[in-house]
């Protein structure tokens, strides 16, 4: 009987200590933050911030936020870092911080909505060439082509392992316009 009590006591102690061991491994965690302006050429600069939070970089969540010049959030998205190509294999907070800066930087083809691929009348989707562009389910052809013609700023960021999510800045707000695939 004493043997079973001893085993039960050891198991209970392990159950109490295990969460602390898990977090002790990740003592510094993977909390990192980056911010920068997004200059759209339309009035005051907007602000972009990105951060990660988690006990380890492998178990972190990454978030990106675009705010108007007055601080009002216009767009936000969060996802497990392990599911986003630029964060998936990072282990150190310093690597994640550098990736957060890259994530916010607008180095893509779509500087303005006029740069989005044309969606010809009668086609099921815009022509995308080698890297297909898929309009958001809320965007029909008429809306999409109106947005293209408006030549409004486009904000895109890597949203998974093989695509960019793109939103447009229009009428003081942001609307998701679609995503562009790229080889993974």
Domain count, the chain: 2
Domain boundary (88, 105, 122) is at 105
Query: Residue 49: what are its φ and ψ, rounded to 5°?
Result: -135, 145
pLDDT tens profile 67-106: 999 999 999 999 999 999 999 999 999 999 999 999 999 8
Q: pTM to 2 decimals?
A: 0.81
* Whether residue 3 has pLDDT greater than 70: no
Say if residues 159 and 145 touch (Cβ distance below 8 Å).
no
pLDDT tens profile 98-153: 999 999 998 888 989 999 999 999 998 897 677 889 999 999 999 999 999 999 99
Domain that holds residue 148: 106-184
User: Could you give the percent of the chain with pLDDT greater than 90?
Assistant: 68
Instruction: Between 175 and 12, name the one with better pLDDT.
Output: 175
Pair (138, 171) in one structural domain: yes
Per the domain annotation, does 15 fall within a domain? no
Pair (36, 53) in one structural domain: yes
Say if residues 178 and 167 touch (Cβ distance below 8 Å).
no
Say if residues 79 and 86 touch (Cβ distance below 8 Å).
no
* Whether residue 49 has pLDDT greater than 50: yes
Pair (118, 99) in one structural domain: no
Pair (110, 180) in one structural domain: yes
| Cα torsion 55, 57, 60, 173: sign | positive
Residue 28 pLDDT? 64
């Amino acid at each position: 009987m004493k043997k079973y009590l001893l085993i039960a006591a050891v198991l209970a102690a392990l159950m109490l200590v295990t969460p602390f061991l898990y977090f002790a491994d990740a003592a510094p965690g993977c909390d990192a933050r980056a911010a920068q302006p997004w200059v759209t050429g339309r009035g005051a600069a907007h602000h972009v911030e990105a951060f990660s939070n988690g006990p380890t970089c492998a178990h972190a969540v990454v978030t990106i936020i675009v705010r108007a010049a007055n601080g009002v959030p216009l767009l936000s998205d969060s996802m497990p870092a392990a599911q986003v190509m630029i964060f998936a294999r990072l282990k150190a907070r310093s690597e994640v911080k550098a990736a957060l800066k890259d994530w916010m930087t607008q180095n893509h083809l779509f500087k303005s909505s006029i740069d989005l691929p044309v969606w010809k009348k009668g086609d099921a989707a815009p022509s995308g060439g080698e890297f297909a562009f898929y309009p958001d389910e809320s965007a029909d052809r008429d809306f999409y082509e109106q947005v293209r013609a408006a030549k409004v700023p486009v904000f895109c960021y890597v949203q998974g392992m093989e695509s960019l999510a793109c939103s447009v800045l229009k009428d003081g707000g942001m609307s998701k316009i679609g995503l562009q695939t790229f080889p993974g």
